[in-house]
Amino acid sequence: MLFSGKLFRQESSNKSVRKMIKKKMLSLLLLSLSGCVSTTEELIKAGDWYQVGYQDGVVGRPARTVKELSRLGQVQQGDYDQGYLKGVTEYCNPEFAYQIGLSGQYYEGVCEGTPQSQQFRMEWQRGWDSYND
């Protein structure tokens, strides 16, 4: 009986270590990717509204309102919208949804209305549940 309890604790401990390593590796990956992206302020100064929209969409951020965008400067709404659509299309890929949830990123519903929204939500939820275990 003592042996089985010890084995259970060791197995449980190994799962915790593996889970912690996965989270650390994912965090490092996300951090390294974010270092390659221009800041929103730089893009606004350059007038690259397509890229501002793309960056908002690809990270699953809800689209900025006209009021929010107008506070940022002389906005090109069409460019922002096109970039956002491209970014959100990439974000809403169900193949990445599990990893998004596993990283602890909250899903803000930006994929609703897309053809694969249900599959995305299910995969994200599976990752989110693992993150919170």
| For range 107-123, the mean pLDDT | 96
Task: Report the alpha-carbon distance of residue 113 to residue 128 in Å, rounded.
Answer: 21
Of residues 60 and 28, more confidently modeled: 60
What's the chain's average pLDDT? 84
**pLDDT (tens digit, 9 = 90+) per residue, 3-31?**
555 555 555 556 665 665 655 555 555 55
HSE-up (13 A, CA, CB side) for residue 60: 20
- Nearest residue to 52 via CA among 65, 64, 62, 43: 43
Residue 57, token pair as written in the block = 């969409």
Total Cβ atoms within 10 A of residue 79 = 17
**pLDDT (tens digit, 9 = 90+) per residue, 71-89?**
998 999 999 999 999 999 9
| For range 34-54, the mean pLDDT | 84
The per-residue DSSP string of 46-107 comes to: HT-HHHHHHHHHHTTPPPPPHHHHHHHSS--HHHHHHHHHHHHHHHT-HHHHHHHHHTTPPP
Query: What whole-number percentage of the chain has pLDDT above 90?
Result: 65
What are the boundaries of each domain within the chain? 39-91, 94-133
Look at residue 36 and tell me whether its pLDDT is greater than 70: no
Residue 33, token pair as written in the block = 């990717």
